């Protein structure tokens, strides 16, 4: 089995290539010792089996962020039989820097010039053969989203493995010596002599020296431990005298190397690129935000149009299936509890999961289309100034706003962000954005208790969401996105082009299936627990474990202004937001099977009257504010676990929102007791 490592800058098309190669034969986890996403997959070509490792996106091999450290460590240890460097053909002057930074690592390599179609649209002509002749390695002009080009890719890949070629650092060293004075040349030679005792592995001596001059943290740590204190002190003295000049010297040499590659291989007769009339509006500081909001509304409307038929059919089939299960159990002489379990846990949980997958599918398709056509970059640019105050990029705008439709789908949308820290922080913020179901529950309760004043709660809700953003940025922002690692978003607006439907739909289907597998297990587990504690033989909730537990915990729940019925309803909202109304119908009426009402998301017809009769206004306010920041449904929890690959972070975010919601309930309740 051959191991192929995919190396490239973010947005170079690595993930598109990885998904097309591996299909469903892939898995995602974390790198050992790092909370950085690790994607591996397999594919066969002929009789050969290949492992593909999608390395975290990196602009070079200097290790600054955790993602870059993972990438560098993998490359310099020589774990791959072949390193496939993917660059953006539309901006070779910038994207080829990673190739120049790779020069000096003695590992077989091939170069893929991706997005050749975009380069052609911009009027750029690239002579692939001349680049190959100059570098003496296999080079391929490619369009990762076009499946017709993959036979040529496999042919080049086979050639690169059978006749391995490497990129040496001799040309870059020559440029350094040409630009440096005699003193600096002697400094380089002295540094090389000082590290002669080291085991360099697949790295050239000059490559190590260049990383020392660039103050690379991993190389400095390795050299310090390998050469001993005396030699390291001498090296440190040299580096201190060079200051930033050393990094500038090697950086300029690498850019000269890139220029030499492209001098005869890339034409200079580019089209003059100017903003279209639409783009002048879409990227305007003010009008661009209105355009983005309008497109967002259309996107969410389309998502709902896709999702609603799926949801309706799921619950429709559930209503048909449940009576059949009851009749089947009766005819077989099975206990009624068997029918209750199958209907409430198995069928009910499956119906809810599949129904919510409609939202996930719709969000992934619509966002994939916007990214594929080129508009997503425009909306990211427009809202970057707002989100940068929180430490995020403008790319987070669409995933955050899509949380109004479905938190689970929006969590999947955070994949467009560059780093794991940004994705985790965006998920923290997403949990405070209410889906439509949560908004409906909050406004229903507000209208029951406060009548015409209910719209005021909507305004309060919006203000508190922004306040929670500020609190989250203070608590999580610096940890997940250290200030010294935050950078501005530099973006080259891509040209508009037709979506690649085959690649898009395959990617969406694979992601939906991955989310479903994780979510269904969580939902079935929660469904079973809730069914177990709420079931009673005679159907009376007072004879269930739920009722017993509720009375036992009431002294504690009353601290937060919630009698046990309200607190159980609050917990029921974890299953789904509408479920909290179903739980209320059960616990306040003290009749029927609690879970059967929950699974149908049903609120009793006289629920408002029952609650007003027994619940005081301070208790109602406490419950409403607790519901505002209650954790999202188990689907969103399962999706968050699927995207973070970390139980620790799932529990952290869950605990954080339990603390916010219950803390708000406590404050509001005790203030209301004093005022009302």
pLDDT of 603 strictly over 50? no
Nearest to 122 by CA among 573, 492, 612: 492
Confidence (pLDDT) at 26: 76
pLDDT of 596 strictly over 50? no
What's the pLDDT band for 53 if we cut at 50, 70, 90? very high
Confidence (pLDDT) at 525: 75
Question: Residue 449's CB: how many other CB atoms inside 10 A?
Answer: 21
Name residue, tokens 């999202």. 632
Identity of the highest mean pLDDT range in 177-186, 479-488, 612-621 = 612-621
Average pLDDT over residues 467-496: 77
Confidence (pLDDT) at 229: 86
Q: How far apart are CA 111 and CA 6, in angstroms?
A: 10
Identity of the highest mean pLDDT range in 53-62, 237-246, 585-594 = 53-62
pLDDT of 311 strictly over 60? yes
Confidence (pLDDT) at 105: 92
Secondary structure (H, E, C), 110-123: EEEEECHHHHHHCC
Q: Percent of the chain scored above 90 by pLDDT? A: 20
What does DSSP say about strands 48-54 and 82-88: parallel, antiparallel, or unpaired?
unpaired
Q: Give CA angle at 28 (102, 51), nearest 5°.
A: 55
Confidence (pLDDT) at 598: 40
- Two structure tokens written together for 216: 């690379």
387-414: per-residue pLDDT in tens?
Answer: 888 888 777 877 887 787 678 778 877 8
pLDDT of 538 strictly over 80? no
pLDDT of 116 strictly over 60? yes
616 to 422, 450, 461, 521, 579: CA distances (angstroms):
42, 12, 21, 38, 22
63-90: per-residue pLDDT in tens?
Answer: 766 778 888 889 988 899 999 999 988 8
Q: Is 541 left (phi over 0), alpha (psi -120 to 50) or beta?
A: alpha
Phi, psi of 30 (to 5 degrees): -115, 150
Q: How far apart are CA 199 and CA 213, in angstroms?
A: 19
Q: How far apart are CA 58 and CA 68, in angstroms?
A: 6
Q: Which residue has the higher pLDDT, 617 or 294?
A: 617
Domain 170-262 classified CATH 1.10.287?
yes
Alpha helices of 111-168 — where are they, by DSSP H? 116-121, 128-135, 150-162
Q: Give CA angle at 515 (388, 292), nearest 5°.
A: 35
Q: How far apart are CA 134 and CA 131, in angstroms?
A: 5
Confidence (pLDDT) at 214: 86
What's the pLDDT band for 164 if we cut at 50, 70, 90? very high
Contacts of 370 (CB under 8 A, 6+ apart): 295, 299, 376, 379, 398
Q: Do 437 and 391 meet the contact criterion of CB atoms below 8 Å apart?
A: no
What's the pLDDT band for 666 if we cut at 50, 70, 90? very high
Q: How far apart are CA 244 and CA 355, in angstroms?
A: 57
pLDDT of 493 strictly over 70? no
Residue ranges matching CATH 3.40.50.300 in the chain: 2-162
- Two structure tokens written together for 656: 């954080």
Confidence (pLDDT) at 471: 93
Report the topology of domain 2-162. Rossmann fold (3.40.50)
191-227: per-residue pLDDT in tens?
Answer: 888 888 888 889 998 999 888 888 888 888 888 888 8
Q: Do 326 and 343 meet the contact criterion of CB atoms below 8 Å apart?
A: yes
Name residue, tokens 């409906």. 440
632 to 351, 471, 570, 573: CA distances (angstroms):
18, 18, 11, 8
What does DSSP say about strands 2-8 and 48-54: parallel, antiparallel, or unpaired?
parallel
Q: How far apart are CA 307 and CA 358, in angstroms?
A: 4
Q: How far apart are CA 577 and CA 571, in angstroms?
A: 10
26 to 23, 29, 501: CA distances (angstroms):
7, 10, 21
Average pLDDT over residues 564-570: 83
pLDDT of 127 strictly over 70? yes
Q: How far apart are CA 606 and CA 594, in angstroms?
A: 16
What does DSSP say about strands 26-30 and 37-45: parallel, antiparallel, or unpaired?
antiparallel
Confidence (pLDDT) at 590: 47
Q: Do 14 and 83 meet the contact criterion of CB atoms below 8 Å apart?
A: no
Q: Which residue has the higher pLDDT, 13 or 603?
A: 13
Average pLDDT over residues 121-150: 89
Residue ranges matching CATH 1.10.287 in the chain: 170-262
What average pLDDT does the structure give for the chain? Answer: 80
* pTM value surpassing 0.85: no
What's the pLDDT band for 600 if we cut at 50, 70, 90? very low
What does DSSP say about strands 139-141 and 48-54: parallel, antiparallel, or unpaired?
unpaired
369-382: per-residue pLDDT in tens?
Answer: 777 777 777 777 78
Q: Do 94 and 101 meet the contact criterion of CB atoms below 8 Å apart?
A: no
Confidence (pLDDT) at 641: 87
The three-class DSSP label of residue 356 is: helix
244-297: per-residue pLDDT in tens?
Answer: 777 888 888 899 999 999 988 877 554 555 667 777 887 787 888 788 777 767
CA torsion sign, 236 to 238 to 244 to 250? Answer: negative
Q: Which residue has the higher pLDDT, 338 or 658?
A: 658
pLDDT of 595 strictly over 50? no
pLDDT of 359 strictly over 70? no
Question: Residue 65's CB: how many other CB atoms inside 10 A?
Answer: 19
Q: How far apart are CA 341 and CA 10, in angstroms?
A: 48
Q: How far apart are CA 510 and CA 515, in angstroms?
A: 9
Q: Do 493 and 377 meet the contact criterion of CB atoms below 8 Å apart?
A: yes
Q: Do 174 and 252 meet the contact criterion of CB atoms below 8 Å apart?
A: no
What is the DSSP annotation of 579-609? HHHHHHHHHHHT-S-HHHHHHTT---TTHHH
Q: Which residue has the higher pLDDT, 545 or 424?
A: 424
Identity of the highest mean pLDDT range in 212-216, 316-320, 529-533, 589-593 = 212-216
Nearest to 14 by CA among 115, 102, 157, 92: 115
pLDDT of 592 strictly over 60? no
What's the pLDDT band for 144 if we cut at 50, 70, 90? confident
What is the DSSP annotation of 66-111? HHHHHHHHHHHTT--SEEEEEEEGGGHHHHTHHHHHHTTB-S-EEE
Contacts of 418 (CB under 8 A, 6+ apart): 10, 57, 393, 395
Q: How far apart are CA 609 and CA 581, in angstroms?
A: 13
- Two structure tokens written together for 294: 């309008």
The alpha carbons of the chain give a radius of gyration, in whole angstroms, of: 29
Secondary structure (H, E, C), 418-463: CCHHHHHHHHHHHCCCCCHHHHHHHHHHHHHHHHHHHHHHHHHHHH
Q: Percent of the chain scored above 70 by pLDDT? A: 83
Average pLDDT over residues 603-631: 77
623 to 178, 534, 560, 613, 645: CA distances (angstroms):
73, 21, 9, 16, 32
């Amino acid at each position: 089995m051959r191991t192929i490592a995919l190396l490239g800058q973010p947005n170079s098309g690595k993930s598109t290539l990885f998904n097309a190669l591996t299909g469903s034969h892939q898995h995602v986890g974390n790198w050992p010792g790092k909370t950085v996403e690790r994607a591996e997959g397999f594919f066969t070509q002929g009789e050969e089996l290949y492992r593909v490792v999608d390395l975290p996106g990196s602009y070079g091999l200097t290790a600054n962020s955790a993602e870059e450290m993972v990438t560098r460590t993998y490359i310099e240890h020589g774990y791959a039989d072949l390193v496939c460097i993917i660059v953006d053909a539309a901006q070779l002057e910038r994207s080829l820097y990673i190739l120049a930074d790779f020069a000096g690592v003695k590992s077989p390599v091939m170069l893929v010039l991706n997005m050749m179609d975009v380069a052609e649209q911009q009027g750029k002509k690239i002579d692939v053969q001349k680049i190959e002749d100059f570098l003496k390695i296999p080079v391929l002009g490619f369009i990762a989203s076009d499946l017709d080009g993959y036979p040529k890719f496999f042919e080049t890949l086979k050639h690169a493995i059978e006749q391995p070629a490497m990129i040496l650092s001799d040309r870059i060293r020559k440029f350094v010596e040409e630009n440096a004075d005699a003193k600096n040349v002697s400094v380089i030679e002295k540094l090389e002599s000082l590290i002669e005792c080291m085991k360099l592995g697949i790295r050239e001596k000059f490559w190590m020296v260049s990383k020392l001059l660039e103050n690379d943290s991993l190389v400095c740590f390795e050299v310090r431990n390998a050469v001993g204190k005396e030699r390291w002190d001498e090296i440190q003295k040299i580096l201190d005298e060079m200051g930033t000049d050393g990094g500038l010297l090697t950086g300029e040499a690498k850019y000269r190397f890139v220029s030499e590659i492209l001098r005869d291989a890339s034409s200079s007769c580019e089209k003059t690129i100017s903003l279209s009339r639409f783009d002048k509006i879409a990227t305007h500081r003010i009008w661009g935000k209105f355009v983005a909001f309008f497109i967002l509304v259309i996107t969410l409307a389309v998502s709902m149009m896709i999702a609603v038929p799926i949801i309706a059919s799921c619950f429709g089939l559930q209503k048909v299936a449940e009576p059949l299960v009851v009749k089947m159990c009766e005819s077989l002489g099975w206990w009624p509890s068997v029918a209750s379990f199958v209907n409430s846990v198995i069928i009910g949980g499956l119906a809810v999961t599949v129904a919510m997958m409609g939202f996930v599918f719709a969000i992934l398709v619509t966002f994939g289309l916007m990214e594929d056509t080129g508009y997503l970059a425009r909306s990211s640019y427009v809202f970057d100034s707002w989100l940068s105050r929180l430490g995020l990029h403008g790319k987070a705008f669409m995933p955050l706003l899509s949380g109004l439709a479905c938190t689970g789908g929006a969590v999947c949308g955070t994949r467009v962000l560059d780093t794991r820290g940004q994705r985790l922080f965006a998920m923290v913020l997403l949990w405070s954005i209410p889906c439509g179901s949560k908004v409906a529950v909050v406004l229903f309760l507000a209208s029951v208790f406060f009548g015409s004043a209910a719209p005021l709660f909507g305004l309060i809700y919006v203000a508190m969401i922004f306040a929670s953003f500020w609190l989250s940025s203070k608590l999580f922002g610096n940890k997940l996105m250290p200030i010294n690692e935050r950078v501005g978003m530099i973006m080259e607006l891509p040209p508009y082009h037709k979506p690649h439907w085959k690649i898009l739909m395959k990617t969406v289907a694979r992601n939906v299936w991955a989310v479903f597998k994780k979510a269904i297990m969580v939902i079935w587990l929660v469904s079973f627990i809730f069914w177990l504690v709420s079931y009673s033989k005679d159907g009376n909730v007072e004879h269930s474990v739920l009722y017993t537990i509720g009375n036992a915990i009431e002294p504690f729940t009353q601290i937060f202004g919630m009698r046990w019925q309200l607190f159980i309803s609050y917990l029921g909202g974890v299953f789904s937001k509408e479920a909290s109304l179903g739980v209320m119908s059960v616990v306040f009426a003290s009749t029927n099977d609690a879970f059967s009402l929950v699974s149908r998301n049903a609120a009793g017809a006289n629920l408002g009257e029952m609650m007003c009769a027994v619940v005081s206004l301070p208790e109602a306010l406490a419950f409403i504010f607790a519901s505002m920041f209650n954790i999202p449904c188990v689907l969103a929890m399962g999706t968050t676990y699927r995207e973070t690959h970390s139980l620790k972070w799932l529990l952290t975010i869950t605990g954080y929102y339990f603390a916010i919601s219950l803390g708000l309930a406590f404050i509001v309740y005790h203030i209301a007791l004093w005022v009302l």
